[in-house]
Structure 1
Amino acid sequence: MRRLLPILLLAPLAACAPPSSTRPDAMTEFHLASDVRETTHRGNDDLLSAGLGLDGLRAKAPAFADPAAPTPAELRRRAIHANWNGIADLGPLGGYGTLYGGVPAVPGREFSAFAILPDAKAPFRVLVQVPDAFDASAPCLLVAPASGSRGVYGAIALAGAWGLPRGCAVVYTDKGAGTGYYDLDAHTGVALDGTRATRGAAMLEFEPATSATSGIAVKHAHSGDNPEADWGRHVLAAANFGLRMLDRAGIRNRPFAHDTRVIAVGVSNGGGAALQAAGLDDAGVLSGVVALEPNVHVAGHGRALYDYVTEAALLLPCALLDARFDATPFARLPAAQPAWRARCASLREAGLVAGADVAAQAASALERLRAGGWEEATIATAASTTAFDLWRAVGATYASAYLRASAGAMPCGFHFAALGADGKPADAATRAAWWSDASGIPPGAGVALLGGTDASPDPTWSGLDCLRRLWTGDSVDARALRTGVAATAAKIPRAGLPILVAQGEGDGLLPITFSGTPYVQALETAGRAPTYWRVPHAQHFDAFLGLPGFGDRHVPLMPYGYALLDALWAHLATGAPLPATRRLDTKPRGTTALDRGMLGF
């Protein structure tokens, strides 16, 4: 199979200098909140795809024999399927498995547990995959925080697909988020094996402090921990757990902590978590970091996620009505147009835009976004984020996390409830599949986001305006929220730690002007020398590239993650220079299959 960069064999790595010997004293403190669950995965149930292979991952989600009571093995297989398809473009035109990547069978073992930081209220998941072909003479460990708020397998399409076939172990973490939804009416949550259990009958992934309300509690929003502020600690603790499990696996008779190369790698929130860990890693736990489209900011540089998400939620529906977006995918969906026109009227009434008609108001909203740093390519791609109502979902969830709110006291009147797409209560089969199918941020998978609406022509305005005022206002809650956001800022990493970042110039969720670019500039100002790849025609969601008319305009971002991992590995293994910072010469895929020339290598 062809690769974007030459595949580096593991054999030469044994001759390279080992990592720092100071690591055992530098590991982030944590303790296990559960026993370690060890499982074996061989034959038709491997580590990388649970036996599905590329064809199975491309097919529909695997069914459960008993939909209301799936087995742990069935839940694991479906979770792996969901997380591959939530992150990667596996479509026939996307080049996966031909131009880059692959899904070979990788037999091995898994070690999973709930862990908890000393000052935390809720646990986080950690899971180590150790392939049978693990090379104990040149050991490597990838630390893979989940993208978004996904469950523990949320980085398998990047870290697992790159590392496991090379004989590296991979330790995953949900970094304090995940899909262990708690049903406040039935008093059930998710056990370590993914099955649902009643509170008190088993250790659960998430148990809210109180169950004196109804609906659904979500760990990211309702743990009371502001997990984003601890992402870096979750990553370093996961590295510690991974090294411990390598010792437990009995592969050799001396500890792995002193000579294992540890690479943190992540996408989106996972990329931000990896960079947060880099900023805390003064003692040399990490050998290098690869971050794709990271949700990251440094104090005084760029804009924080909550700031631009709540701005986008208010302004983008109106701005996208500007005529320049007439041919933009998702910008002219008929069902959205009345609400978007009503948004222009709401903005005009609030004094946020000017103009006597929709055209003038849309132009005014667009100019306001530009003044805040939004670029036109980002705004155009963000039509998808806006059409799918992601801004509201992210804003409500993150506001609750920053304020450490309970499920019954989310800001601005929001709450989560177990409802299907038909508006009826989610059935037992839907609830049983939450751990495998959900993304960690409702709505979706039978959990609805309710509240924050009214009966006006612009029903979501009231809730979104309330969320925005938590950023711009001076109430007690607003000040508390900004304090919570400030706690998430990344620190500058130690000198000499390789940092490799790639971001699409069309990222419509985490705009490059607010995240990747200012982070890299902060590092350069501090005397660091990160590798930074700007990727024209790449956006945030590779999984969206199969949507009609959308993939035509873009290239996937995942190939650049694999390529940067290859380059970092060459640097660590042979001393090869790290790749230079550059803007890739990409070309939109169009209606044909992706080819190598489109990627700009």
Structure 2
Amino acid sequence: MGWKATVANPCGASLRTKVRCRRRTRLLRCGRSRHPEEAHVRHRQHHRLTAPRARFLAVAAALAIAAGAGCASTTADGATREAIVFEHPRSTIHRDGDDLLTAGLGIDGLRRMAPPDFADAEAPTPAELRRRALWSNWRGIADLGPAGGYGALYGSVADVPGREFSAYATVPGAIHPHRVLLQLPDAFDAARRCVVVTASSGSRGIYGAIAVAGAWGLPRGCAVAYTDKGAGSDYFDLDAGIGFGPDGRAVAGDAAGIAFAPEAPEGAGGVAFKHAHSKDNPEADWGRHVKQAAEFALHALDEALPAQAPFTFDNTRVIAVGISNGGGAVLRAAELEGDWLDAVVAGEPNVHVDAPGARALYDYTTEAALLMPCALLAMDGLPQPPLLDQVRPLYAARCDSLAADGVLPGADTATRAVRARDMLLAAGWTEGALRAGALSAGFDLWRSVAATYANAYGRHGVGEGPCGFSFAAQGTDFLPRRATAAERAAWWSDASGIPPGSGVGLIDAGLAPPDLALKGLQCLRGLWTGEGAGADRVRAGIAATRAAPPRAGLPVVVVHGLDDGLIPVAFSSAPWVAHARAAGRDVRFWQVRNVQHFDGFLALPDYGARYLPLLPYVYEALDRIDAHLDGAPLPADAVIDATPRGAAAMDASHLAMPR
């Protein structure tokens, strides 16, 4: 099914040669290369067509870059469009027990603790992989517990039949593509044509925003466009030379259509993944990933609904929404020129601006990784899990290590812990953020994020990562080993895009007692605070991610929990809003009390009792901004006093929606 583009000049025989050739081919599409002597080269594209996909080929061919042509054009609707080649497109039908929103699982299936089974664990079908990916991403993002009210009090898991269209797109200058996907409901409202465009939260795969954008847009008759923004779950098994194809199945590393095949030295082992090892610093291009997903949506709609074509930015409402990294991505899209985007809702966005109070994710992540374990010993009543008694010896060892290095004064653990807490408060953390951050500290999330982002910002490839970190399957002894075929087959559906998880672990070559992770964390922190080529390289990558104000006149609503312990509002949303307003932009800001970062963790009883979910406020903001596009006023700024539900089931009074 479908067509695929082939390049006239074959890419050699070996995997390493093919990857290098593919890398040059993508860079040369726009006359851009990391090798100046190659800048004049153009590869002629030859496309092979299989019926009935002629229309989709015609769309892609129209977008392909002709020899000598530029890489952008200005359209009648005022949007500057980059010429895009959509590679390896495919389409699937989802009806009769296999819908767009839950693949037929419904709320009961999504609530099951075990994932949907594969008939053959080593060779799952595309339908099985898709169903399991939806299950995994729903559970990773939404609070689906019966007491949490999802699907009854807010949100939707309605049966939405329709079709999916997917492909790869590559931003100019990037080595590797990102996945784009359009979900088109059968009930698409042709009289009120609407596209919701979104980006995955965290580093998740292509369905990573299903609970955010899909749950709001699909039941309303909107098409929903997704991008994995250059990250995702397209892992590559370096030991076996196996990656993943367009349908999520494991394929040989030299197969046509492989989603990610990294350059790697001979004999490299372990696991590579796109966020860390693409050498693209994908975060710098988040906004362009979102725009390309919107472009793909319009062209897929042209193919799917030819009687209603053409679909353009001028005649189709386009609303962008995302949370976490996806929230940062839609704010980056908001700054792009042209009237291609009609409105934006950003939830708990990871966004960095050059403004007072703003801090880069890498800065406060590495700070928290070092100081927070010790600081938490000075705080009572932390949410559980992790159980403080279990990690107290490790946290005390951190206090002792930092004291030995002269970072913390004090003759005992208690005094050092108070000093660590006070240092974090002085750096802009709040008590609420520290309390909620206990989860990230307890699950060692700070270290995993820092190691991955150091690799990405520095554009390090396989075997080049700073500070001795790598990734591999692990045994019970935590030593690296080869992945099994069954483990590998499930990565595309199960993985979150950043190990550890799904059988892949973070390998730290510097582990040593008594404070096992200290050496690696100090090295990672030094890439922000220190000197040298490695630190300069990482800081340059971070500088490339700085956001600008949104386009003038674009309606934007930002929603953030005041107890967010992963992306504190004081470092991200608040300075971005102030920066945008200083530039004369009319953005609206909802700050919600008793909301932390992870709705998915509200299934843990103590977190569910203490905190409210963010998603209801994202959906409400979407409702209000959609109404604004029809003539209603924008919602006012609000500090929302949401009330924790305790042991009771949540009801509308707990949410305290602004009116």
**Scaled by the length of structure 2, what TM-score is found?**
0.86
Matched residue, 2:111 = 58
* Matched-pair identity in %: 55
Report whether the alignment pairs 1:439 with 2:493.
Answer: no
Q: 1:363 aligns with which of 414, 418, 429?
A: 418
Q: 2:448 aligns with which of 393, 396, 420?
A: 393
Report whether the alignment pairs 1:218 with 2:287.
Answer: no
1:211-256 alpha-carbon deviations (Å, 9 max, x no partner): 5211111100000100000000100111111111010112534311
Q: 1:317 aligns with which of 363, 367, 373?
A: 373
The Cα of 1:339 is off from its aligned counterpart by 1.1
Matched residue, 2:125 = 71
Matched residue, 2:145 = 91
Structure 1, unaligned runs of 5 or more: 1-19
**Contact 2:180-2:206 within 8 A present in 1 as well:** yes
The Cα of 1:115 is off from its aligned counterpart by 1.1
Summarize the Cα distance change of 1:537–1:25 in structure 2 as closer, same or farther, 3 Å threshold: closer
Report whether the alignment pairs 1:416 with 2:471.
Answer: yes
Paired amino acid for 1:275: L
The Cα of 1:425 is off from its aligned counterpart by 4.3
Tell me the matched-pair count.
578
* 1:111-122 correspondence to structure 2 within 5 Å: 111-122=165-176
The Cα of 1:548 is off from its aligned counterpart by 2.7
- Please state whether the residue corresponding to 2:88 is helix, strand or coil: coil
* 1:271-350 correspondence to structure 2 within 5 Å: 271-280=327-336, 282-301=337-356, 302-322=358-378, 324-330=379-385, 332-350=387-405
Q: 2:315 aligns with which of 259, 264, 267?
A: 259
Separation of aligned partners in 1, 2:101 and 2:383: 36
The Cα of 1:278 is off from its aligned counterpart by 0.5
Separation of aligned partners in 2, 1:25 and 1:265: 19
Q: 1:149 aligns with which of 188, 203, 214?
A: 203
Matched residue, 2:182 = 128
**Contact 2:382-2:435 within 8 A present in 1 as well:** no
* 1:376-391 correspondence to structure 2 within 5 Å: 376-391=431-446
Separation of aligned partners in 1, 2:75 and 2:261: 38
Matched residue, 2:579 = 522
Paired amino acid for 2:92: T
CA RMSD of aligned residues (A): 1.4
**Contact 1:136-1:251 within 8 A present in 2 as well:** no
Report whether the alignment pairs 1:228 with 2:267.
Answer: no
Summarize the Cα distance change of 1:253–1:592 in structure 2 as closer, same or farther, 3 Å threshold: closer
Report whether the alignment pairs 1:104 with 2:158.
Answer: yes
**Contact 1:28-1:233 within 8 A present in 2 as well:** no
- Please state whether the residue corresponding to 2:97 is helix, strand or coil: coil
**Contact 2:88-2:246 within 8 A present in 1 as well:** no
Paired amino acid for 2:351: V
Q: 1:189 aligns with which of 243, 247, 257?
A: 243
**Contact 2:75-2:81 within 8 A present in 1 as well:** no
- Please state whether the residue corresponding to 2:191 is helix, strand or coil: coil
The Cα of 1:35 is off from its aligned counterpart by 2.4
Matched residue, 1:16 = none
Summarize the Cα distance change of 1:337–1:166 in structure 2 as closer, same or farther, 3 Å threshold: same
Paired amino acid for 1:412: C
**Contact 1:189-1:198 within 8 A present in 2 as well:** yes
**Contact 1:264-1:290 within 8 A present in 2 as well:** yes
The Cα of 1:467 is off from its aligned counterpart by 0.3
The Cα of 1:199 is off from its aligned counterpart by 1.5
Q: 1:479 aligns with which of 520, 536, 544?
A: 536
Separation of aligned partners in 2, 1:83 and 1:470: 32
Separation of aligned partners in 1, 2:649 and 2:233: 34
The Cα of 1:100 is off from its aligned counterpart by 0.4
Separation of aligned partners in 1, 2:169 and 2:126: 20
* 1:193-212 correspondence to structure 2 within 5 Å: 193-212=247-266
Separation of aligned partners in 1, 2:218 and 2:417: 49
Quick check: 89-98 or 297-306, which moved more? 297-306
- Please state whether the residue corresponding to 1:35 is helix, strand or coil: strand
Separation of aligned partners in 1, 2:326 and 2:153: 24
* 1:3-42 correspondence to structure 2 within 5 Å: 22-23=76-77, 25-32=79-86, 34-42=87-95
Quick check: 282-291 or 294-303, which moved more? 294-303
Separation of aligned partners in 2, 1:23 and 1:275: 21
Separation of aligned partners in 1, 2:258 and 2:383: 44
Separation of aligned partners in 1, 2:589 and 2:228: 26
Separation of aligned partners in 2, 1:175 and 1:299: 23
Matched residue, 1:3 = none
**Contact 1:420-1:448 within 8 A present in 2 as well:** no
Structure 2, unaligned runs of 5 or more: 1-73
**Contact 1:321-1:331 within 8 A present in 2 as well:** no
The Cα of 1:207 is off from its aligned counterpart by 0.7
**Contact 2:345-2:622 within 8 A present in 1 as well:** yes
- Please state whether the residue corresponding to 1:380 is helix, strand or coil: helix
The Cα of 1:158 is off from its aligned counterpart by 1.1
Separation of aligned partners in 2, 1:485 and 1:129: 33
Quick check: 339-348 or 422-431, which moved more? 422-431
* 1:451-490 correspondence to structure 2 within 5 Å: 451-490=508-547
Separation of aligned partners in 1, 2:482 and 2:289: 35
Matched residue, 1:166 = 220
The Cα of 1:578 is off from its aligned counterpart by 0.9
Paired amino acid for 1:36: P
Q: 2:428 aligns with which of 373, 376, 398?
A: 373
Summarize the Cα distance change of 1:484–1:460 in structure 2 as closer, same or farther, 3 Å threshold: same
Separation of aligned partners in 2, 1:326 and 1:539: 16
Summarize the Cα distance change of 1:434–1:331 in structure 2 as closer, same or farther, 3 Å threshold: closer
Separation of aligned partners in 2, 1:580 and 1:492: 19
Separation of aligned partners in 1, 2:405 and 2:380: 24
Separation of aligned partners in 1, 2:475 and 2:491: 12
